[in-house]
Amino acid sequence: MSVGPQKIVFTGGMQPTFYRSDKGTLLIGSGVPLSPGTPIPDRNRGGVPINLISRTNGKTWERWIPPQPPEGAFGHAANPFNPNIQEVPGIPAGGLTSRRDGSVIAIETWGDGPDARGLFHTRIWTSMDDMASFSPQPATLYCPQGRSAFDDGGHPCSGLCFCRTMLELPSGDLLVTAYGWFEGDTTPCAYLPAAFRSRVVLFRSRNGGTHWDLVATLAVDPSCGEEGFNETALVRLSKGPHAGRLVALMRTGSNNCAIHKVVSDDEGGIWSKPQALPFGGVYPDLVEMTDGTLAASFGWRIWGGGVMQNYYTVFSRDGGETWVNLTRLPLEDHAATPYPCGTWYTGLREIEPGRLLVAYDFGAFKPTWPVKYIATREVIVQA
């Protein structure tokens, strides 16, 4: 492995989420703290979603700004939810994928519900021009067992959070992962009793994303980690003896908790027992490289700091059975600050065969934190 120099791509943003279209366009989603004086949402708290786009394999980046800010989008002046945000908002994508018809589809981060029919409500965003623009459309998810609860900051949330992963099956059906709570999921979070330990679930759409049905729970165990299971990255293997297998990595806590893995060989109907991996952290990302190698990134968060606290990549050449080459990404000198020096959120994508681009953040999700930015590094993987 070789790790390249840091390249700052956006100042002011935190918690990167990384996507790549089939045409090679890169999109980073980030959150920017609410402007002073902005009304605080009564649920689903978070920053203003700001997107960055690159059509040069990450060499150059620019703000993604829609031709016209879509009415009703998070932070739009016509939306009373947050009318005072000055930033032009981006797409609040909780999952995004390219489709075989050339379109790109994203789903919003939160689903509200359930209503009397057991439906959660959200929106999908579709691009027909390689992410130059997106059009929103209402979407529903059938999950009558779902419920609202409180997030890891103790704030109310709608109950379904779509986190990172959407993919298209060979049939054209779509899969998306979410985390949240069912009736009965009331075990308190280890460090915040007001929040309950969550589960990860899978939804499938057979009509292009406007309606989704619950397929299965990937993982639930109120004794696991600090938070149960949440932030999830999912891939479908295209090579090797387990081609077609779904492999998922999941967060289980905030403070030095093991990342867990589950697999499914029937398109998500039945999942293996969660397996703790020999590394820990938050917001894992996962991609299958051109040669079939699985590459993951994560931030190993340890409250108060610790020798292992850092950003990492790690690799599997056997479909996720074993993991090797745990690679620490260098921290810049100015990162030698009291915890946290970042939220420890990452994202990665393969930009050429054997070349990964990893995104990560520095700073804290607070308006008063003096330095905050999103940066990238290249990781070259030798065969």
Q: Which domain holds residue 80?
A: 2-380
Beta strands 346-352; 324-329: pairing state: unpaired
Contact by Cβ (8 Å): 126, 138: no
Write the CA distances from 168 to 88, 144, 171, 274, 292, integer angstroms: 30, 24, 8, 24, 18
Cα separation, 104 vs 19, whole angstroms: 11
Residues of the chain below pLDDT 50: 72-86
Determine the pLDDT at residue 16: 94
Answer positive or negative: Cα dihedral of 87, 166, 237, 286: positive
CA distances in angstroms from 104 to 7, 28, 65, 86, 359, listed in the order given: 27, 14, 16, 27, 21
Cα dist from 135 to 138, 189, 201, 340, whole Å:
10, 37, 26, 37
pLDDT, residue 76, reads 42
Cα separation, 204 vs 276, whole angstroms: 26
What pLDDT is stored for residue 88 in this prediction? 62
Q: Nearest Cα to 131, choosing from 46, 238, 51, 74?
A: 51
**CA distances for 303 relative to 200, 271, 311, 346, angstroms:** 24, 31, 14, 18
What total number of domains does the chain contain? 1
Are 212 and 114 in contact, with CB atoms under 8 Å apart? Answer: no
* 3-state secondary structure at position 82: coil
Sign of CA pseudo-dihedral 274, 277, 279, 284: negative
Give the DSSP per-residue string, 346-372. Answer: EEEEEEETTEEEEEEEES-SSTT-S--
pLDDT digits (tens, 9 = 90+) for 179-221: 999 999 999 999 999 899 999 999 999 999 999 999 999 999 9
Residue 63 belongs to a domain with what CATH number? 2.120.10.10
Query: What predicted TM-score, i.e. pTM, was given to this entire model?
Result: 0.92
Please state, in angstroms and rounded to a whole number, the distance separating the CA atoms of residues 279 and 313: 11
Q: What is the pLDDT of residues 31-70, one digit of tens each?
A: 877 666 666 666 676 777 889 999 999 999 998 877 665 5
Q: What is the pLDDT of residue 41?
A: 66
Pairing outcome for strands 156-157 and 149-150: antiparallel
Task: Supply the pLDDT for residue 71.
Answer: 54
